[in-house]
Structure 1
Amino acid sequence: MPYFIEVILPLAVPRTFTYAVNEAEYQFLRPGMRVAVPFGKNKLYTGMVKTLHQNPPLLYAAKEIDQILDDTPIVTPYQLQHWQWIAEYYMCTIGEVYKSALPSGLLLESETIISAQQGYSPDTGDLTDDEYLIYEALQNQSALKVQEVTAILNKKTILPILNRLISKNVISLQEAVSEKYKPKKIRYVRLQEEFLKEEQLNELLELLSRAQKQREVVMQYFQLQARDRNKPITHKALLEASGSTAATIKSLVDKNILEEYYIEEDRVSFTGSATAGFALSEKQQEAFLAIKAGFETHPVTLLHGITSSGKTEVYIKLIEEYISSGKQVLYLLPEIALTTQLVHRLTAYFGNKVAVFHSKYTNNERVEVWQQVLQGSDKAQVVIGARSALFLPFESLGLIVIDEEHEQTFKQQDPAPRYHARDAAIVLAHAYGAKVLLGSATPSIESYTNVQSGKYALVEMKERFGKVLPPEIVLIDLKDKYKRKQMTGHFSDTLTEAIAETLVLGKQVILFQNRRGFSPWVECMTCGHVPQCPQCDVSLTYYKYKNQLRCHYCAYHIAMPTHCHQCHSTDISTKGFGTEQIEQELKMLFPAKNSWRMDQDTTRGKHGYEKIIDAFKNREIDILVGTQMLAKGLHFDNVGMVGILNADNMLYQPDFRAFERAYQMMVQVAGRAGRKNDRGMVYIQTYNPLHNVIRQVTENDYEGMFREQLYERHNFKYPPYFRMVRIILKHKDYEKLKNGAMWLYNVLAQQLNIPVLGPEEPAISRIRNEYIRTIMVKIPLGAALGTTKRQIQKTLDSMDAIAQYRSIKVTVNADPY
């Protein structure tokens, strides 16, 4: 009787593949286990077992698996179901979901191993110099890896040389899979048991009387043991305490006096703090009880609490209840910058029950968290992470907290799966029977609509913690200030005076400018030429610190030109401004104060965010300039003032969410001010102080903004009344792309009885030498969503069958928020 398994491959292929197994393997394997399988030209991939069955494939002969990589499943049945839902809803392949979900430390690709053929002896002139070097290396060792051959020859293209050696029967190639994850082992030392008796100990010290250094190490060992109350002693601690060398300790090991042993240890561990306890205020207690009541009637509750109302403390008490009942909790955050601050607060309270999972952690660290969550370990009762933490293998998930749920960073843009973590988390929670708490000071219009329709429960916190008043908002009319010549750089006199006053009081200042770099573009004042990226349809951004122009899309860069490339004029001026320019102006305006900026360019390393946030918290930085990563729920006690340098940048974006996002961003940034005792100040510089959104921010009128935006969305067929699917087509040949996009639009418009818009050129119509066209499908709420998406997919498959359009790259983005 033949036995087969269905395997998901970590590739963008639209289906699973069938592989043959023997009876013993069939009995051993379970869905969720990894297997190494051959695919394509003898390449081995890490496949995931989806199902087991006894039906041979009809279109091809099933290959046999190479090896089984797990003893027990590392992915739960809930996860496999969830992956399937993400693939169908967000219109991508399950292979792409699998590749995105698993830490790359668990996705092993095979490595090519090169070994010598038996019985070959080279004749003179038979091999070239490069070929002989490889042959010679294989005489000294049994096998070589590709990287080792590259290093021996000091060349990047080695494939032709290897092919020639294969044809001359000198070498053979095999594929091998090796585990990337290695547990962290710490080396410990202990005294052999026989020397622990007193009479033996005196003999030992007598024995070492001539080896003074070894005797000192043994004496130091006893001191450490007495000090640390018989805790195990690490090799490193003994080295440091005795001031001796590794050779001395090795001599003691060789003499069988000391014994070395290894203990596996977690790469990341936390300790609690005895002073982290707190009691909820009256308003927080009310919200806490209201959330619990909401969970009794609704699976999802929205906590609409103004900035600094103390939402985090409510989350902590709620989490405490769930983990004490043996459930796991997932705490999702939109930014890695936020996790660093929150991890301190949660680990102080919960100690080593907290695990952290996001992309700045190493492969090995992420694999460890994965295993802890899968085993239901005490060390992973609360998982804090960015959107990828959603894919962890929870055993008993009880609660998902999604903080700052309105944030656009919860939506994955590239690569596929282009999922929205908030929506996918609600589906995941439903599978586990878990509850979801959405928290925000400025909820997304979709979530608030779900509250209005009775789908979600609503809890409101309208008062700041400690009865601190909301910040006072002052509008500065830039048009008027420029007219009266009351501007210094990009700072009005009002803003400069406010910063000076705040600093005199010993308070800190946050300034918000949602553009990085020095200037968004440079322009020749003689002929108006603006240097463009040769590969993308954008102007180059100027970075003064590096004195270069950079493209934010493809990283192309050139030195800052001294004269215009078009007319050779030397009159070149920078236009617009970014965080780098603001930082420079601050250093001129307040030379005695420490200014710093926080944007994508200054937070590249693993601890980039942490260093800046800690320095600001410890008051080493007086003025912090930042992009939107500053606007997310960071908590600083000493911020007296917040300045928004140009509110209009946010308002006039070609996006139906521009006004909603501008409102959210300004309210969130304003919320960083005056969080402890004093009322904070917020200064907003704008050319349009009478704009509706700016008035709504000043009056903190969320309801007004919500009603106005809902009316607009209804009129123009946008979410929440319509679901959207954006199809992006790319190709280097402009004509081919234009024809292909037109063909696709015509077919979709004929087949779907719903609005199809396009094909249009987006604002940036060329990136990395590829032209872009977009088609937008709007699906009304009443229409069958799944059926419509399947029809779109069918049309895309038939386009792929047309030879002339096959080379057009097509990406589908469902709910492109």
Structure 2
Amino acid sequence: MSYPASPLLVDVAADVPTVERRRLLTYAVPEHLIGQIEERQLVWVPVRDELTLAVVVRCHRELPSFPVRPLYAPVEPAFRLYPWQWEVAEWLCDETVCSLFEAVSPFLPPGISGHTVEVLRLRPGMPDAAPRLTSVQRALVDLLAERGEMTLEAARRALGRRLTTVVERLVAAGVIERAARVRPWSGPAATQRFVRLGPEAGNGLTPEQREALRRIQLLLARREGAPVPWDMLRREGVTASLLSGLAERGAIEILELPRLPAALAPQGSPVDLDLTPEQIRAWNHIRDALRGQRSQVFLLHGVTGSGKTELYLRATAECLREGRQAIVLVPEIALATQVLSRFAARFPGQVVFLHSALSGSERIAAWQAVARGQAPVVLGPRSALFAPVSRLGLVVIDEEHEAAYKQDAPPRYHARAVARQLVSRHDAVLLLGSATPDVSSAYACDQGEVIRLELRERVGPRVVRSDGQVERAPLLLPPVEIVDMRLELQRGNLGLFSQALLQALSEALAAGEQAILLLNRRGLATVVQCRACGHVESCPFCDVPLVYHADRGLLICHRCNFRRPPPSTCPACNSRAVSYYGAGTQRVERDIRRIFPEARVARWDQDVARRGLDPAELVRLARRHEVDIVIGTQMIAKGFDFPLVSTIGVINADTQLYLPDYRAGERTFQLLTQVAGRAGRRSPGGRVIVQTYTPDHYAIQAASRHDYQAFYREELAFRRRHGYPPFRRLVRLLYRHSDDLACQIAAESMAERLRAEATRLGLGDVEVLGPTPAFISRLRGRYQWQILLRGSDAQRLAAACTIDPGWVVDVDPISLL
């Protein structure tokens, strides 16, 4: 159907697959919507026979050479990106080589794309008697006049007609209008009410209201301006009617904030800790940047237990005093309960918890609280970085080295890079914190792009000197003992545990202390193999061995979750010589329970987490000393702070050391250093035992000495030699297909196109490596081939070349596996 052209047109970036990343579609703005459509606004447009979300890029009056369809409607409630959000989205589009709409999508209100309904309503000012209406048209008009706004589906049911042509003609005649409204989520979000002072002075108040306002002011002063919980005021004798009356006169504001999960509820009163000299030096730099309101990036490089979180809290408090907002990122919500509860205690009534695992109603309630300016502190994983803040003053990225900060779907951004874009547009401060910083972050410090602030000592207990002054005694990092498992094997020890580790566990249990055992593999046995013919039980859809999980009695693929019972005989030769090799956390748990039958043992890995067990429960068990030994994967190496843990055992430090990935050494060093930092955090005497078959590797040696600089020097030399980041950029292109030959042909064709484009652009610095099969050559039944671009202009080449649909483009990948 053709439509008359409107004098006003819009170019939009729509949510449609496209080879051209910045391809725009042009639509006419219907006359009744002129004045309602602006640039950066979210709208609905027709694409083929469906309504599609789009964002307006440009409004203009340049008539194209082709007929245009009318724009359908603005999204309701109306949503428009801030100018800085649009700037960051355009940067994301170019930097991550994605479409413009994909770059906009992280900023959109939660659930907007899949939770929308079409509604019909009469046009405002329409005369009661519209001329020349058919009987069906008149029936629809009368229905809308009687019931008001209705969904299209409800109108169809009421009239028993499809109404497609009827609606189109009534819209064209200006009798009715259509809109696409975001439906309310079912089930209200659990909220908590708080009170703060309003914009008005409170003139004309009754004596009772003035007394109530005085009480509120006293409580606010006692809480240093933090909003007062509604329940607290009620306990103070301030009635609901008094509060409502004060709110009506503008003397107070009543905030309706999402209730934090029980695991994040403030635990006791906030404690303002004394700072060590190192913390004071670091804090002075951070405070000056916050007060000067200038864009600055700091790397807070502090050993485990050195008090980084206290500096995060103080920086957030300073940000709030300046009337600005703060975003605090943690790598994984399941492991961050202790950090988040400290923020909730320090800033009651000012914190929202924003992440994708919330229910729809909870997530939109938190998002709206931030958009209204009622919640100045936003906590969450990487997605919280896109919260609708308008006065950003601080971004904190805790454990900035974690891989969880890299998004694995378009736009494939890294939170660190996006945060730098945000703070530069808000004159804000970015605070990166880690005991084992990413090598690229440390190199940025060497290049003068980031200011390094160091905390080399742990925060120890308070001590009173002879002159009466109070200071904090230093608390040493625990000593690390490396055990060469090759020697254990020569001595006849065929078990998982060295004699040194068993002795340390016995001593810890006898002393009433706790221990952590780390093995970064799940399951009971990692390989099931026939000893007669060598057949290995592998996933039929992925080129990986199946792992035996004893608690479920199943072989499970850790890539696609395929499951089947273990065989009693070999499917290849019918032999009964089927054996189980390798070890995972379930094997460690089984053997520890056998060796130490009196010990209370808890396992924490992804299998346990997926069954819905709350990580806060593990924290409570450990803090109440209801568990003696915690066994787990890398999940237990970060985020948990157990005061009674004195002994750490790493079962196999080589698990990921020799994987074909340039970050393998870095990941090993980080994991060992982080898990070692769980010991001796409250008192001296901690002990760490690392079992390895390659004790001389520089990552293991440096971790044993808690020596980041030694590791950094070796790692940097390795990357310089081989041309890896931070010296040269990488872009990974991955293609999947159900047919291996078709996948290879497509990859070879793309590689030739990339080489030709590099020659055309004169990008001699860029190497096109491959194509080659990926490390896992088949995943979920689809073969995988990859191409690597290496060089300073690698991203520029990927952005300039036309890339066929189906390719995954990952700029600055954190893994090549």
TM-score (norm 2): 0.78
Aligned with residue 405 of structure 1, among 392, 400, 406? 400
TM-superposed deviation, 1:450? 0.9
| Cα deviation 1:244-271 (Å, max 9, x = unaligned) | xxxxxxxxxxxxxxxxxxx995442455
* Structure 2: runs of 5+ lacking an equivalent: 1-5, 120-134, 137-152, 163-177, 193-231, 242-253, 461-473, 759-763
Give the 3-state SS of the residue equivalent to 2:412 in structure 1.
Answer: coil
CA 1:689–1:186: 2 relative to 1, 3 Å: closer
Question: Which of these residues, 3, 24, 40, is aligned with residue 8 of structure 2?
Answer: 3
Deviations 1:531-585 (A, max 9, x none): 1111111111111111111112222111111111111112211121111221222
**Counterparts of 1:87 and 1:501, CA distance in 2:** 57
Q: Does 1:338 align with 2:330?
A: no
Give the whole-Å Cα distance in 2 for the aligned partners of 1:645 and 1:108. Answer: 46
Q: Which residue of the partner structure matches residue 366 of structure 2?
A: 369
One of 787, 794, 805 as aligned partner of 1:775: 787
What is residue 308 of structure 1 aligned with on the other side?
Answer: 305
1:304 CA drift (Å): 1.0
* Whole-Å separation in 1 of the counterparts to 2:437 and 2:421: 19
**Does the 8 Å CA contact 2:324/2:376 hold for their aligned counterparts?**
yes
Match of 1:52 in 2: 59
Tell me the equivalent position of 2:799. Answer: 790
User: What is the rounded CA distance, in whole Å, between the counterparts of 1:324 and 1:175 in structure 2?
Assistant: 42
Question: How many Å separate the matches in 1 of 2:234 and 2:676?
Answer: 54
* 1:354 maps to 2:341: no
Aligned equivalent of 1:437: 431
Alignment equivalent of 2:320, drawn from 309, 323, 326: 323
Distance 1:139 1:475, change over 3 A: closer
- Equivalent of residue 273 in structure 2, options 275, 278, 302: 278
Q: How far apart in 1 are the matches of 2:238 and 2:667?
A: 58
User: Which letter maps to 2:790?
Assistant: K
Match of 2:499 among 493, 498, 510: 493
Cα distance per residue 1:26-72 (max 9 Å; x no partner): 3233444433333232x22343344433334545513331454124x
Deviations 1:691-745 (A, max 9, x none): 2222111222211211111111111111111011111111112222222212222
Provide the rounded CA distance (Å) in 2 between the counterparts of 1:772 and 1:364.
39
Distance 1:325 1:503 in 2: 50
Q: Distance in 1 between matches of 2:48 and 2:240?
A: 51
Determine which structure has the larger helix proportion and give its number: 1
1:537-576 correspondence to structure 2 within 5 Å: 537-576=543-582
| Residues 181, 30 of structure 1: alpha-carbon distance in 2 compared, 3 angstrom cutoff | farther
SS at match of 2:537: coil
Q: Say which SS state the counterpart of residue 366 (structure 1) adopts.
A: helix
**Would you say the 8 A contact 2:331–2:405 is kept in 1?**
yes
AA aligned to 2:34 is Y
Distance 2:531 2:316 in 1: 59
2:446 corresponds, among 452, 456, 472, to 452
User: Any conservation in 2 of the 1:305–1:441 contact (CA below 8 Å)?
Assistant: yes
What secondary structure sits across from 1:301 in the alignment? strand
C-alpha distance in 2 between matches for 1:461 and 1:81: 35
Q: Which residue matches 1:677?
A: 683
**2:729–2:795 CA contact under 8 A, matched in 1:** no
Q: Which one-letter code corresponds to 2:707 in the other structure? A: D
Q: Distance in 2 between matches of 1:330 and 1:33?
A: 24
Equivalent position amino acid for 1:481 in 2: E
In the alignment, does 2:636 pair up with 1:630? yes
CA distance in 2, matches of 1:543, 1:678: 38
Given that 1:335 and 1:386 are in contact with CA atoms closer than 8 Å, whether structure 2 keeps it comes out as: yes
CA distance in 1, matches of 2:336, 2:639: 10
**Partner letter of residue 179 of structure 1?**
R
Change in Cα spacing, 1:110 to 1:302, as seen in structure 2 (3 Å) is closer
Aligned-residue Cα RMSD (Å) equals 3.3
TM superposition shift of 1:428: 1.7
| Other-structure match for 2:259 | 268
What residue is the counterpart of 2:532 in the other structure?
Answer: 526
Number of aligned residues: 686
Shift of 1:230: 6.3
- Contact 1:11–1:96, Cα closer than 8 Å, also in 2: no
CA distance in 2, matches of 1:709, 1:284: 28
Where do residues 224-243 of structure 1 align in structure 2 (5 Å cutoff)?
A: 229=237, 231=239
Distance 1:144 1:97, change over 3 A: farther
Rounded Cα–Cα distance in structure 1 between residues aligned with 2:189 and 2:412: 38
Q: Is the 1:515–1:577 Cα contact (8 Å) retained in structure 2?
A: yes
Supply the AA of the counterpart residue of 1:78.
W
Alignment map for 1:474-485 (pairs within 5 Å): 474-485=481-492
Q: Is the contact made by 1:32 and 1:75 (CA closer than 8 Å) also made in structure 2?
A: yes
- Which of 25, 28, 35 matches 2:36? 28
Quick one: structure 1 residues 138 and 406, their matched pair in 2 at CA, closer, same or farther if it must change by over 3 Å?
Answer: closer
Counterpart code for 2:476: L
Is this contact kept in 2: 1:508–1:641, CA < 8 A? Answer: yes
Contact 1:183 1:265 in 2 (8 A): no
C-alpha distance 567-289 of structure 1, shift in aligned 2 (>3 A): same
Contact 1:84–1:94 (CA under 8 A) maintained in structure 2: yes
Give 1:403's aligned amino acid.
Answer: D
Aligned partner (choices 590, 597, 601) of residue 596 of structure 2: 590
1:484 is matched by which residue type in structure 2? Answer: R
2: CA distance between counterparts of 1:187 and 1:733? 52
Q: 1:743 aligns with which of 724, 736, 749?
A: 749
Give 3-state SS (helix, strand or coil) of 2:685's partner.
Answer: coil
Return the alpha-carbon distance in structure 2 between the equivalents of residues 312 and 301 of structure 1. 14
Asked if the contact 2:305–2:458 (Cα under 8 Å) also holds between the matched residues in 1, the reply is yes
Unpaired runs of at least 5, structure 1: 120-136, 147-173, 189-223, 234-262, 801-805
Taking a change above 3 Å as real, the CA distance of residues 36 and 689 of structure 1, as seen in their structure-2 partners, is: same
Change in Cα spacing, 1:642 to 1:179, as seen in structure 2 (3 Å) is same
Cα offsets for 1:788-809 (capped at 9, x unmatched): 3332x33x2xxx4xxxxx7xx2
Tell me which moved more, 273-282 or 629-638. Answer: 273-282
Assess if the C-alpha contact under 8 Å between 2:336 and 2:639 holds in 1: no
Contact 1:106/1:181 (8 A) holds in 2: no
Cα distance, 1:591 vs structure 2: 2.2
Q: Which of 19, 24, 35 is the matching residue for 2:27?
A: 19
* Counterpart Cα distance in 1 of 2:399 and 2:507: 32
Query: Counterpart of 2:535 in 1: which secondary structure?
Result: coil
Does structure 2 conserve the Cα–Cα contact (< 8 Å) formed by 1:272 and 1:352?
no
**1:185–1:393: structure 2 CA closer, same or farther, 3 Å change rule?**
closer
Q: Is the 8 A contact 1:186 1:265 kept in 2?
A: no
Cα distance change of structure 1 residues 635 and 10 upon mapping to structure 2, 3 Å threshold: farther
In structure 1, what is the equivalent of residue 169 of structure 2?
none
User: Contact 1:298–1:456 (CA<8 Å) still a contact in 2?
Assistant: no
AA in 2 matched with 1:19: Y
Q: Residues of 2 paired with 1:179 and 1:756: CA distance?
A: 48
CA contact (8 A) 2:519 2:652 kept: yes
CA contact (8 A) 2:107 2:388 kept: no
Give 1:104 deviation, angstroms: 4.0
Q: Deviations over 1:272-314 (max 9, x none)?
A: 8434333323332222113345777872111111111111111
Question: 1 CA distance for matches of 2:546 and 2:661?
Answer: 22
The one-letter code of the counterpart of 1:461 is L
Note the 1:417-432 alignment, pairs <5 A: 417-432=411-426
The amino acid that maps onto 1:437 is L
The equivalent of 2:715 in structure 1 is 709
Residue 181 of structure 1 corresponds to 185
Contact 1:4 1:26 in 2 (8 A): no
Residues of 2 paired with 1:634 and 1:145: CA distance? 60
Q: Which amino acid in 1 is paired with 2:26?
A: T
Select which of 505, 509, 514 maps to 2:511. Answer: 505
